[in-house]
A = this chain, B = another copy of it.
Amino acid sequence: MPADCVIGVDVGGTKLLAGVVDAELTVHHRAQRHSRGADETAVLDTLVGAVTELREAHEGTIRAVGFGLPSLIDQERGTAVSTVHLPLRGVPFRDVMAERLGLPVFLDNDANCALLAEARGGAAAGASHALMLTLGTGIGGAILVDGRIVRGADGAAGEIGHMVVDVDGPPCPCGNVGCLEALVSGSALGLEGARVARASADSALARVAASGREITGMLVTELAHDGDRAARDVVALMGTRLGVGLTSLTNAFNPSVIVIGGGVIAAGDLLLEPARAVVRERALAPSSTTVEVRSARFGAESGMLGAAVMALDGVA
Contacts and interface: CB of A to CB of B under 8 A. Distances in A.
A290 to B, nearest CB: 6
Interface residues of A, number: 52
> Binding site of A, secondary structure by majority: helix, strand, loop or mixed?
loop
A286 B248 contact: no
Given A164-B244, A167-B244, A282-B176, A154 B254 contact: yes
B286 A164 contact: no
Contact of A286 (B72, B163, B247, B251): B72
A284 interface: yes
Contacts of A169: 167
Interface string A157-170: 11110111111110
A276 interface: no
Contact of A165 (B159, B164, B175): B164
A292 to B, nearest CB: 10
Interface of A: 72, 81, 127-129, 141, 143, 145-146, 148, 150-160, 162-169, 174-177, 183, 241, 244-245, 247-248, 251-256, 282-284, 286-287, 290-291
10 contacts: A127-B153, A143-B252, A145-B145, A152-B253, A155-B254, A156-B284, A156-B286, A163-B248, A175-B282, A252-B252
